[in-house]
Amino acid sequence: MSPPADTTVTSRIQDRTKTIAAAGAIAAAALAAYHRTFRVPFLFDDGPAILENSGIRRLWPLWSAIWPQSKASAVAGRPVANLSVALNYALSETNVWSYHALNLLIHVLGGLTLYGVVRRTLLQPVLQGRFGRDARPLALAIALLWTLHPLQTEAVTYIIQRVESLMGLFYLLTLYGFIRSVASPRPWRWQVGTVAACLLGMATKEVMVTAPMLVLLYDRTFVAGTFREAWQRRGRLHLSLAATWLLLLGLVASTGWNRGGASGFNVGVAPPAYWLTQFEAVARYLWLAAWPHPQVFDYGTFWVHGAGQVVGYALVVVPLAAAAVWALWRAPAAGFLGAWFFGILAVTSVVPGTIQMIVEHRMYLPVAAVIAPAVLGLHAAIGRRCWVVLAALALGLGLLTARRNEYYRSEMAIWSDTVAKRPDSPQARNGLAFALDHAGRIPEAVQQFEAALRLAPRDAELHDNLGVTLGHAGRTAEAIEQFEAALRLRPDFPVAHSNLGNALLQSGRVAEAIRQYEQALRLRPDYAEAEYNLGGVLDQSGQIADALRHYEAAVRLKPDFAPAHYNLGDLLARLGRTAEAIEQYEDVLRLQPDLAQAHDNLGVLLCRSGRTTEGLAHLNEALRLHPDYVRAHFNLGVALMNAGRTPEAIEQYVEALRRQPDLVEAHTNLAMILAQSGRLPDAIAELHAALRLSPESVEAHFNLGSALLQSGRTEEAIVQYEEVLRLRPDDAATRQILDRIRAGRPMRDPPP
């Protein structure tokens, strides 16, 4: 006998209300823990992935919004991640609030999806008898603890690490869609959603590769009972999920199979050497999942030189891994959690990396496999009295997360904390030194680089970095010594060759600088920065054709290299190739829309090309961005004067002179426009001011003569015209004016 319809409706309403309440609790808890992160600045990898990523500057064509230019960026080969930051850029450009809002939203949605996965799993026949009665509060407890765990901060607060949390969301959605499809009377809708979520995850981060296998294992463990039964019932779905590997394969290939040289089996790292480091990594992950202290932003690069170094860690990891494998057959539910933990970590633990051996954001999904058995075990041990303990634990984790987020307020704060916890890490001291350098605290930066070099004296990159900072301090000779030390250790280091070239150039050793840039390019023909530097020194040396060639090479090699576009535009403008120069400045502004100098230069060229309305718009934008930009006031005055907008032109010249009273050109142009307006006394005063600043200005002497002549002050005008002839004896027009004045013949028109 079926229950009455009104009872069913009431039950559904109650279920929906409880679900909404649970969702509200997860969202509110996450907001409380992360509400102070909305102003955390861009950090580290955010630079190449967001600030230097020209692919996110526009949403159309869509290809540019999903495909970054650089293979070394954190979003390379990850089109969904790149599209997500493109959406943020469209909303707030480089204002960080929208990026953090989306990161938090992704994390909250992940928590809600985990809640759904856990609740429905506890209601599966395998677990329902033991946990079904309290499935909802248990799922809420697990999802809350997962959402609030401090290990999640790196994937939420560090903007570009959303690649981990976004992948995690799609991973959970893939599993949730599968679970719903099993119980649905029309499963195909959920199955389509499951495959779609899996595809999106594959296009977000490579760790998603394990999702199809985990879904099959879930089917066998909680639904079908055996792999054979799972395959017979839902083989087409599992095949469809496996087919998403083809997309991932293509995306990995697009990055050279090694994420721009950062990780892969072709990055020059012996796999066994990397694998040995992962015993410590996994052991630390387990410790931090259970006791999240101390958390470290960067554990540095380290190598294990023998198995004896990792015995202690292996004694923890190997038995647990073996137990997980054993449990797959003997205790399938526990085995699934073991597979979740070790399987998801397997991608980053097996594929060698050159920099990161231990990274806390890798635990974003695996930490759920530690939290879930802890919560269920506590419930089994003490029953419903566990709710008080779990509530206190959630509060404690939330407070720890809020505290951990404080370290992300600046590069200085996060690296200072890292150095305090890993004082023997050269990478940590290197990071702190860079932060100090960026803050202008050069002596302290030098101290940190020197401390790093004491720890790793044969690290060529540290010598190079110290050299750059010494250059910022004006200690060029010492900088040269550091670059040369880097090259003794690593002669094939193109960056050090280029930086040595910069230092030699500052010392006036131009020929040697050119040789260093050329050596950098021999070692690395696609080195855009070296092309740019070589173009700059050749430009300064007057070798214009060669400079042009190198600037063009720089922008060809690195299309999002704004300084190269800017210098190329400047050189093309000087060569009179105005249309091409305009294109370069437009590229600059596509990459750096808030660069006032580019708006100013582009505005001048557009006005000269007859595109006055566009030119004026750019000149006004330059002044909006930089109200004290004197040259933009002057150039806007010229453009307005040429457009016949005299009062506005006068305002701009006056504004330029208020900010820079010694700007001769502004005095001269202002005098000209005042004279044309009939304000001869004011014009004469401006020209006298110009001549006080530049007594040899032929233009000022001539214009003053003309103004004096129009004012009837003929003798004074003659003096000025004679001064013009003294400075420029072959000026026939001025000589003709003087002859007419002396002959007493009136001028048909006053001289211009």
Residue range 306-331, pLDDT digits in tens: 888 999 999 999 999 999 999 999 99
Residue 512, in any domain of the structure: no
Q: How many CB atoms lie within 10 A of CB 327?
A: 17
Q: What does the mean pLDDT of the chain come to?
A: 93
In this predicted structure, what is the pLDDT of residue 294?
95
Residue 613, in any domain of the structure: no
Residue 547, in any domain of the structure: no
pLDDT band for position 61 (50/70/90)? Answer: confident
Assigned token pair, 345: 């970590």
Residue range 293-308, pLDDT digits in tens: 999 999 988 888 888 8
DSSP H or E run through 601? helix 596-608
Assigned token pair, 303: 């190598």
Percent of the chain predicted with pLDDT > 90:
85
| Rounded Cα distance, 404 and 735, in Å | 80
| Rounded Cα distance, 306 and 303, in Å | 9
In this predicted structure, what is the pLDDT of residue 152?
98
Average pLDDT over residues 509-517: 97
Assigned token pair, 711: 């004012």
Q: Which of 133, 149, 146 is nearest to 172 (CA)?
A: 146
pLDDT band for position 263 (50/70/90)? Answer: confident
Q: Which of 335, 361, 334, 367 is nearest to 348 (CA)?
A: 361
Assess whether pLDDT exceeds 50 at residue 747.
yes
Q: Which of 289, 348, 353, 350 is nearest to 316 (CA)?
A: 289
In this predicted structure, what is the pLDDT of residue 55?
81
Three-state SS letters, 303-340: CCCCHHHHHHHHHHHHHHHHHHHHHHHHCHHHHHHHHH
Residue 32, in any domain of the structure: yes
In this predicted structure, what is the pLDDT of residue 257?
85
Collapsing DSSP states into helix, strand and coil, what is residue 59? Answer: coil
Assess whether pLDDT exceeds 70 at residue 383.
yes
Three-state SS letters, 635-653: HHHHHHHHCCCHHHHHHHH
Assess whether pLDDT exceeds 60 at residue 230.
yes
More confident residue, 437 or 745: 437
Those residues whose C-beta lies under 8 Å from the C-beta of residue 425, and which sit 6 or more positions away, are: 298, 299, 300, 418, 419, 455
Q: Which of 80, 78, 85 is nearest to 58 (CA)?
A: 85
Assess whether pLDDT exceeds 80 at residue 261.
no
Average pLDDT over residues 321-348: 96
Return the bridge partners of 353, or none.
Answer: 263
Judge if the upstream peptide bond of residue 294 is cis by omega within 30 degrees of 0.
Answer: yes
How much of the chain is in helix, strand and coil states, percent to nearest 5?
A: 80, 0, 20
| Rounded Cα distance, 73 and 50, in Å | 9
In this predicted structure, what is the pLDDT of residue 598?
97
More confident residue, 51 or 241: 241
Percent of the chain predicted with pLDDT > 70:
97
Q: Which range has the worst mean pLDDT, 10-24, 430-444, 450-464, 500-514?
A: 10-24
| Rounded Cα distance, 666 and 71, in Å | 48
Residue 163 contacts residue 204 (beta carbons within 8 Å):
yes
Three-state SS letters, 82-125: HHHHHHHHHHHCCCCHHHHHHHHHHHHHHHHHHHHHHHHHHCCH
Assess whether pLDDT exceeds 60 at residue 633.
yes
| Rounded Cα distance, 77 and 206, in Å | 9
The one-letter amino acid code at 126 reads V
Assigned token pair, 526: 């696609």
Q: Which of 277, 279, 275 is nearest to 287 (CA)?
A: 279
Residue 695, in any domain of the structure: no
In this predicted structure, what is the pLDDT of residue 328?
95
Those residues whose C-beta lies under 8 Å from the C-beta of residue 517, and which sit 6 or more positions away, are: 497, 498, 501, 530, 533, 534, 537
Residue 288, in any domain of the structure: yes
Average pLDDT over residues 499-526: 96
**Rg, C-alpha atoms of the chain:** 34
| Rounded Cα distance, 318 and 320, in Å | 5
Three-state SS letters, 682-750: HHHHHHHHHHHHCCCCHHHHHHHHHHHHHCCCHHHHHHHHHHHHHHCCCCHHHHHHHHHHHHCCCCCCC
Indicate the burial class of 518 (C-beta count within 10 angstroms; 0-12, 13-18, 19 or more): middle
Domain span at residue 181 reads 5-259+282-405
Q: Which residues of 632-642 are buried (b: 16+ CB within 10 A; e: fewer)?
A: bbbbbbbbbbe
Please give the model's pTM, rounded to 2 decimal places.
Answer: 0.83
Judge if the upstream peptide bond of residue 746 is cis by omega within 30 degrees of 0.
Answer: no
In this predicted structure, what is the pLDDT of residue 483?
98
Residue 179, in any domain of the structure: yes
In this predicted structure, what is the pLDDT of residue 2?
54
pLDDT band for position 11 (50/70/90)? Answer: confident
Collapsing DSSP states into helix, strand and coil, what is residue 296? Answer: coil
Residue 665, in any domain of the structure: no
| Rounded Cα distance, 508 and 503, in Å | 9
More confident residue, 588 or 14: 588
In this predicted structure, what is the pLDDT of residue 354?
83
What is the tally of structural domains in the chain? 1
In this predicted structure, what is the pLDDT of residue 748?
46
| Rounded Cα distance, 614 and 587, in Å | 16
